[in-house]
Structure 1
């Protein structure tokens, strides 16, 4: 389908990715553009934001790049304001920022725990706070937060702060959805399972003897026996942001090849 987001403006926090590679955020930004949205591509790395915007523009769609750090309120507010000044409005907020600090309760110090919570949950607070006045004024808006399957189940990795933060993202999404449901504002979360993204190779591969072993082990854990791709996350994000989902709010949607439905060790 095309034009499911026609005449809408989307702002994507975490829109970048490694040069020439596809992250969840970059794929979602491009998917939004392909469906007719004008896209504000926000990333803390200027080159990453610009690359995402360039891909969208090269395909004949509208996009701008904005640099912002999601832990800085003023930068988040400015990114939203720049998008509104350029495109005249904002209709969709997509949050795709996250970090996984390794370690359990004994290994994590206060700084690492707080940093993970500030980035993963604090980013949702800051970005939602920045767009809500505009959504309330126009009586509509769609928020899509990228959480994780780790919000609801053990992933096999020792990431205590990540589990806690993504569980908080889930419930924060539900709280936003219910508080503003009567105002025409929807909020949903996506919980990616085993997705083949560049970040996985940086943050998880060291726990295996080889990249091949990591890919094989992760694939075995999924009922479909393969990882998903960033485009699977992008497809879910487009649907939840579109009017096709206009009666869907407060949902935390697994995009995981059935992973959430099975007991560990039984796939």
Structure 2
């Protein structure tokens, strides 16, 4: 079976591809796990920029796979929500970008779109929304964000470019090449400065409820995984004074 998400590293650029073209790159449980692992791999690597894309030119992703089981939790695999990604991430979008897939692009730093790209958030029509898309209202003009969320109708690549959701508009099939050209411009920039500027921009930007909740969960998860937490539990059970190390 093909990998649901591929990771290719070249010239210190990571290309992370949702690899289910036969399903319009729809996101199932396997894709969720693989995307989360890809961001962890990127964080631990020498790669300096990541490109997030979908296989083929028909769809970046059709969103949640209709056959998937369980509740989708995009916060767990969207870059920069549960998994902090300090290095630049560029989305390369062609074709349909639907539902939760829109939030993946929303969380990227830059976006290159092919002329056939269509962005739509139809959750109001299907009766479910995870809420991460709420942060879209601080990334593009408020009324456009509300149009996407409340009407559930698509906007094309040109309009997405006009309202500032897309940085570059290119012919179909050129989206990854253009994203790579942008990435190559950043590869030789000072990594610490890139990280600092991304961090400052993220701290300046207001966060929606899902992002804030994820931030709190991330901190408590880190605590519960610590040696000090285990020491606290063991010392309580053994009725002794704990010895905390800050680890």
Structures share fold, TM-score greater than 0.5: no
User: Which structure has the greater CA radius of gyration?
Assistant: 2
TM-score normalized by structure 2?
0.29
TM-score of the pair, normalised by structure 1? 0.28
